[in-house]
A = this chain, B = another copy of it.
Amino acid sequence: MSTSGLNMSRRIRRTPYTDRVEAHGVSGFSVVNHTLLPKAFRHSVEDDYWHLRAHVQIWDVGCQRQVEIRGSDAARLVQWMTPRDIGRARIGQCLYVPLTDADGGLINDPVLLKHAEDHFWLSIADSDVLLWAKGLAIGAGLNVSVSEPDVWPLAVQGPKAEDLMATVFGAAIRDVRFFRWGTFPFRGTRQVIARSGYSKQGGFEIYLNDSSLGSELWDTIWQAGQAFSIEPGCPNLIERIEGGLLSYGNEMTRENTPLECGLARYCRLDGGIEFLGREALQRGVRDGVRREIRGLLFDGGRCPPCGKPWPVLAGGDGGRQIGQVTSAIYSPRFRRNVGLSMIDRGFWDPGQPVTILSADGVRRHGEVVALPFPHSVA
């Protein structure tokens, strides 16, 4: 129970898949939403990276908790929380919805699933959106219930995911388009399954709505996956950074707006909708933001884990600080380190030379690149 060095207690919740994850020899966990997220199995991050790009993996992402909002004011509350126009959301659609506070700062960046006009799920990143939504609703006297249902996402990711899922849930799963969902039968129940996930390799997320079926769902996919070289996995830091997938708490915090994080396309700022932080975001568009998210490619040998932001200095000789690295790792494909960073205006053009001060004391030379990273780097 404590193989990972992370001390176990009820406070850090297990998922319906944790028993299976332990049986597969998980060697490290992280904690997201007070819930265990596996972070490593037997293989190195690089081996897992190559496997994810070639085969299929099963990921316990039960930590992506659902915040369920129901009631006659449900749509009003959801719209109040996000700059994205949810008026046109259709049932069966997944919507990426940045959540903002009154200053336009990011509270979370969930995926919204609309079940009915008065019934939504927010599938959340790492902050207590349940408390945020409940607080707003109680304060404003809205007619909604806000709760955390017994729903635990399980991801199947990788290029062979569709073939594997078709053997388990039938060929109809192939018709589910990207960021759409349908319901599929499993052991006499019906389960929401979306074509989505925290990788760029394709795949699905099963929103299992009955924790007692967790082991059975895992085992079913695992057995069927043998023909597809399935391995247990987890969000892969190399693949995530190369794909430009942002992580709440890493690339963005309440200190950042969606505009800084490259999420302007999810913000309707023409006045057609009302939401928290609209004035701040309109001001940001009018005045321009002073920093924006960018990729970095840099040298100096394999970089250490980025446990706290690293300073980014202007130029190859290291001038004044112009930003910070928020996630970084060595890419075996690019044979350079890749990073995500927040870079000041005037320095964010691709090709900008930079010096990075990593935590190991090494001064590393590199340059700014656009996101997502190019498929290949010269």
Measured CA separation A139–B34 after assembly (Å): 26
Which label, helix, strand, loop or mixed, suits the secondary structure of the A interface?
loop
Say yes or no for A309: interface residue by CB 8 A criterion: yes
Please count how many residues in chain A sit with their CB below 8 Å of the partner chain's CB atoms.
55
Task: Indicate whether A326 sits within 8 Å of B10 (C-beta atoms), given known contacts A4-B5, A135-B136.
Answer: yes
CA distance in complex: A226, B12 (Å): 35
A250 CB-CB contact with B under 8 Å: yes
Q: Would B8 and A305 count as touching, CB distance under 8 A? A: yes
Q: Which of B135, B140, B142 contacts A132 (CB 8 A)?
A: B135
A137 at the interface (CB under 8 A from B): yes
A9 contact from B1, B134, B305, Cβ within 8 A: B305
**Interface stretch (choices A22-30, A258-266, A311-319):** A22-30
Complexed CA–CA distance, A174 and B139 (Å): 43
Residue numbers in B under 8 Å from A306 (CB-CB): 8-10
- Residue of B3, B40, B101 touching A134 (CB-CB under 8 A): B101
Is there a chain B Cβ closer than 8 Å to A307's Cβ?
Answer: yes
Q: Give chain A interface residues in 141-173, CB to chain B under 8 Å.
A: 141-142
Contact B1 A305 (CB under 8 A): yes
Closest B residue to A127 by beta carbon equals B128
Q: Flag if B327 contacts A9 (CB, 8 Å).
A: yes
Known: A2-B305, A9-B247, A30-B7. A129 touches B131 (CB 8 A): yes
Is B136's CB under 8 angstroms from A138's CB? yes
Binding site for B on A (CB under 8 A): 1-14, 27-31, 34, 39-40, 101-102, 107, 126-129, 131-142, 247-250, 276, 304-309, 326-327, 359
The 9 closest A-B pairs by CB, nearest first: A139-B139, A135-B135, A11-B249, A5-B5, A128-B128, A8-B307, A139-B140, A4-B5, A131-B132
